[in-house]
């Protein structure tokens, strides 16, 4: 067995890196931002490869897309019930595990609307930007 066969393939390394960066991210990332972060570890990684790998990760249900302000962001799956907080200053999107809506599935709203799920995106300043603004 050659040494080359023992090391993971290039495609595997790319897939593992992108998957890890998304799992470790503070929230869903745009393709551009994911690419930027990945270049720190794989400087030769092309944008087309990022798109191709994301498609694969979506097929494997490791990653899903989040549509926010008209842009598709990518997020690792399995984060449980959560919401997104979009910072108007630094434009980062954060995952929040606190739920601002006390509306469990099965809640019946006025008029007879039975709630099964909800989506909420919060907008404002992230802790860093809020601190900078009040300094």
Q: How far is the C-alpha of 42 from the C-alpha of 97, rounded, in Å? A: 31
Q: For residue 108, what are the CA distances in angstroms to 19, 82, 97, 99?
A: 38, 21, 24, 18
In the complex, minimum distance from the CB of residue 15 to Zn ion, in angstroms, rounded to a whole number = 30
- At how many degrees (to 10) do helices 47-59 and 10-24 cross? 80
CB 66 within 8 A of CB 84: yes
Binding mask 9-48 for Zn ion (x = CB under 5 A): ----------------------------------------
**Residue 42 vs 68, nearer CB to Zn ion:** 68
Q: Which residues, numbered 58-117, are part of the site for Zn ion (CB under 5 A)?
A: 87, 89-90, 99, 101
d(CA 15, CA 9): 10
CB of 92 to Zn ion, least distance (A): 5
Residue nearer to Zn ion on the CB measure, 99 or 122:
99
Applying CB under 5 A, the residues found at the interface with Zn ion are 87, 89-90, 99, 101, 126, 129
């Amino acid at each position: 067995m050659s040494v080359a066969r023992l090391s993971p393939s290039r495609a595997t390394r790319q897939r593992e890196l992108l998957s890890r960066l998304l799992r470790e991210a503070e929230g869903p990332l745009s393709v551009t931002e994911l690419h930027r972060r990945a270049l720190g570890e794989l400087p030769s990684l092309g944008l087309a490869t990022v798109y191709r790998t994301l498609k694969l990760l979506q097929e494997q249900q490791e990653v899903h897309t989040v549509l926010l302000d008209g842009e598709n962001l990518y997020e690792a799956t399995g984060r449980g019930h959560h919401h997104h907080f979009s910072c108007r200053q630094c434009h980062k999107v954060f995952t929040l595990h606190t739920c601002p809506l006390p509306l469990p599935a099965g809640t019946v709203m006025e008029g007879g609307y039975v709630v099964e799920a909800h989506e909420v995106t919060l907008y404002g300043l992230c802790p860093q930007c809020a601190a900078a603004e009040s300094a």
